[in-house]
């Protein structure tokens, strides 16, 4: 029971940042005028999230897949993740959905939460690190999602309520992974590799192109800072 409570605690942290990101976006948009500095900070936050996502992919998700899977299923899972995320991203764009940013966030949040619960039973250090990565990457993603929903005429209260409810997806995913996948390391590794393929596609399709600004280096520094935090986290648990 104590282990389940730990999983709930860590997954709650990884999920509640979905709501906190929206709150930060609310105050950021309210207190800053639309100018170059605001745009730079906004792009810095997005790039920081991209760095964290890349760190999770390179330091946790892919290494776990390589460790547990043979070459063919490893390649198959990665390719499947890449193309499924590609088709979903394409469909979301064509539909013009007001929830496009939210859906993109959930595409990597849900499989990572499942993996978090699954690996926590056998590897608490990696599980803890993954929870930190998920929480940190959700913060800038939900920051961006809030602005997207507000731009599509959603009220502040409704937008924050949506983000608050979605913050519990981490707990649901982690508990599901713990009870259904903790004794299935290869399936867990397959999910992590699948998510890696999709995440890498989203980084270069959506995140990296959107953070480029002329005559400023702040966004690129944000990406490096995000990845550096991942390196520090990986080093601390080993």
Q: In angstroms, how far is CA 59 from the centroid of its own chain?
A: 14
28-46 residues labelled b (16+ CB within 10 A) or e (exposed): bbeeeeeeeeeebebbbbb
Cβ 130 vs Cβ 119: under 8 Å: yes
Kindly report whether the global pTM for this prediction surpasses the value 0.85.
Answer: no
Confidence (pLDDT) at 206: 67
Confidence (pLDDT) at 140: 80
The tens place of each residue's pLDDT in the chain, 238 residues long, gives 577 888 888 899 888 999 998 898 888 765 555 556 666 777 777 777 778 888 888 888 888 888 888 889 999 999 998 889 888 877 777 766 656 667 777 777 888 888 888 888 778 888 888 888 888 888 888 887 888 888 777 888 998 998 999 899 889 999 999 898 888 889 989 998 898 888 888 777 766 655 565 666 666 566 667 677 766 766 666 5
Q: How far apart are CA 42 and CA 57, in angstroms?
A: 23
Sorted by where each begins, the domain ranges of the chain are 2-22+53-236
């Amino acid at each position: 029971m104590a282990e389940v409570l730990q999983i709930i605690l860590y997954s709650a942290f990884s999920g509640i940042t979905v709501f906190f990101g929206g709150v930060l976006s609310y105050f950021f948009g309210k207190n800053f005028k639309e100018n170059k500095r605001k745009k730079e900070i906004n792009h810095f936050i997005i790039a920081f999230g991209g760095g964290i996502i890349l760190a999770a992919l390179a330091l946790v998700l892919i290494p776990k897949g390589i460790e547990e899977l043979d070459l063919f299923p490893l390649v198959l899972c990665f390719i499947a993740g890449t193309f499924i995320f590609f088709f979903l991203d394409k469909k979301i764009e064509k539909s013009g959905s007001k929830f496009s940013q939210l859906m993109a966030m959930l595409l990597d949040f849900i499989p990572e939460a499942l993996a978090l619960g699954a690996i926590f039973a056998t590897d608490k250090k990696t599980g803890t690190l993954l929870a930190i990565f998920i929480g940190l990457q959700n913060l800038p993603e939900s920051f961006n999602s809030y602005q997207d929903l507000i731009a599509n005429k959603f009220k502040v209260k409704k937008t924050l309520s949506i983000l608050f409810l979605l913050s519990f997806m981490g707990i649901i995913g982690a508990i599901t992974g713990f009870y259904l996948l903790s004794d299935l390391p290869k399936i867990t590794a397959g999910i992590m590799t699948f998510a890696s393929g999709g995440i890498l596609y989203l980084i270069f399709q959506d995140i990296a192109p959107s953070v480029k600004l002329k005559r400023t280096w702040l966004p690129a520094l944000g990406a490096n800072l995000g990845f550096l935090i991942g390196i520090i986290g990986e080093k601390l648990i080993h």
